[in-house]
Amino acid sequence: MKDKVIIITGGSSGIGRACAFSFGKAGGKIVINGRNSQKLQEVGQELQSAGIEYLAVPGDVSKEEDCRILIEQTVAKYGRIDVMLNNAGISMRALFQDVDLEVIRQLMDINFWGTVYCTKFALPYILEAKGSVIGVSSIAGYQGLPGRTGYSASKFAMQGFLGALRTETLHQGIHVMVACPGFTSSNIRNTALAADGSQQGESPRNEGKMMTAEEVAERILEATRKRKRDLVLTTQGKLAVLLGKFLPGLTDKLVYNQMKKEPNSPFK
């Protein structure tokens, strides 16, 4: 990653923040993007203190123009893009019959369209550098999760988009990877949307038993170096993907029962 230019959306917290440090310590020049300018600057100062060169570009990936500006400012400063790490995302927790359709629209705008916009504007530079396009997805992109219809839909869409892009550019020398961390100790569940669009506030899962964002970031860095096609983390995640291929009916039941165990689950 020495002197490579890495753009990380959702870079002010969680996996995005951790990736900024992992890729930066590996020698990369880091461009972090996020909606919260103050948090972004705080992370930027931490990167600087760690001796990592960075550029902070505030913006909302659900807005096409903000994504265009992100790419333009990166190229204006560094003249190239080597890795487009599409990490920005939000989740939800509500039954489809109860959820406001605007919640699903928001998830698609950020999780799917944010990936499409950033990748579209970055692609000419990625092609030139023969670099990487990475999407941080989820097991929800392989297996529909009850209570997360909008989240699963957005991640299935992201994976379909990146899979098609990989095939389109098969002979153009670029690397396209889908990374699925599984349940990770980050703030995505705390900021997950409820049925009415409000933030759920409390994570329904035991964060202490999950893989940390820092562990996930190191694995994403390693997989990027090796130019892997897919990265599925955690034993539970790998099992869900494997069973989903060969025993889909059983997988549905297992996933339902797992989600049913969550505190305040709507399935009890």
Radius of gyration of the chain (CA): 18
Give the active site residue among 54, 142, 151, 256.
Answer: 151
Annotated catalytic residue 151: yes
Kindly report the number of other CB atoms within 10 A of residue 46's CB atom: 14
> Are 29 and 54 in contact, with CB atoms under 8 Å apart?
yes
Neighbouring residues of 222: CB distance < 8 A, sequence distance ≥ 6: none
Asked if 90 contacts 107 with a C-beta cutoff of 8 angstroms, the reply is: yes
In the chain, DSSP finds a helix count (H) and a strand count (E) of 9, 9
| Cα 15 from Cα 27, distance rounded (Å) | 18
Residue 73 CA to its chain's centroid (Å)? 21
d(Cα 13, Cα 256) in Å, to the nearest integer? Answer: 29
Question: Which residues participate in catalysis according to the annotation?
Answer: 151
